[in-house]
Chain A
Amino acid sequence: MRTIFRRAPFQRALGLAWVIPALALVGVFVYLPLVQNFGFSTLKWDIYSGSQEYVGLENYRKLIGDPVFWSSFGNNLLYAVVSIAFQVFGALLLAALVESIRSERWRRGLRAVYFIPSAISLTVAGLLFYFVYEPNLGLLNHALDAVGLGRFGQSWLGQGDTAMLAIIAMSQWQGFGYSTLLFAVAIQRIPSEIYGAAAIDGTGPIRRFVHVTVPLVREMTGLMMMVTISGAFQVFNEVMVMTGGGPDNSTQVLGTWLYRSGFVRNNFGYAAAIATVLFVITLGVAMAQLWVTRRRRVEW
């Protein structure tokens, strides 16, 4: 017993020594920048002279009165709501439909078809859809023309009332297949006996979906909702490529307004304040995700 007592502190110290390098790396590259960013958000920083003036919470006060910050926040929320509708509930429905197909070959084929857009990078997809939406040469206006709906053709990304929806639509196209695939995997994990029992009880496909599939994939549903919301607040690439936040800041999201505040308006302290708010939102969503996945675990 004495030997064990003597060796325990040594082993604890040894264990700590092993994790110190990893802790140091995470600390320097993850946590220190976060703290630093908060430090920057309390400064008025002139990148040209290098001078940094402490302004306390002034940047946060300015943020509250900034209409573009709030419209950006609103765009992120809209993004989240539409993404939940399509990439969570829509994808679940589609996955259930695909998985209900008897032919394995068709199931595999359809999964691949839906997944392909997700293999394209967002930047490339954004560029691709920029040309789809282009008012003169774009595929969408030409397609509308071809089916006699030319009067609905317009400059999709050039108008404040359609630009954000056009970007969100592209994003759904890009992310829909990935969510569908994840739901398909979750549905495949449901034991077939449960469906068999439901069939013996005389339940139709809709009731089977509502009373068997939906409850048994709730863990995945919860996870997908959190991932989707978190992703909606980290949107950047597609907006930058397709509109750059315009016209008249109508498609700004928090990420692009942060970028514009820093790199275009030279207000890096204010940009850091937006980054802090963005971090708090995504951290909150991540915490909620952890809580939800811990509480809604399905076991059989």
Chain B
Amino acid sequence: MESVILQIAARHMRPLLVILSLVVLYRGHNEPGGGFIGGLMLGAAYILFAMGFGVQKTQKSIPVSPVILTGIGLLLALASGLIAVLMGHVFMTGEWTTLFSGTSFELKLGTPLLFDLGVYFTVAGMLMLVMFSIMEE
């Protein structure tokens, strides 16, 4: 089933949804949002694309396969816990740092954000894996 409207919409929506998912991921720390919801949005962006163009074409347009994306996510989550061990603290202790402090671009980064990024990739990867396996006949 080829729909021109869906294809055009999907092509333009995908980058927007990816950016939006990153925004949701970042604001998750102090406001509603987070890795899980961001990951769902990222997955949804690609599923929308797959609805318009088919699974094969979508998989070609992603640099990594969904399985590898899941692996990257798990690795980031693992790393976020191990950073604390390297700093000499107990596993999973939150380590924070502030970039550009004092300026108006103050950016607070820490291992919980890295963990969330891991969740983000894992959820998106798993969602794509499941949906693509249903969608391809």
User: A and B, one complex?
Assistant: no
Residues of B within 8 A of A (CB): none
Q: Residues on A close to B: CB < 8 A?
A: none
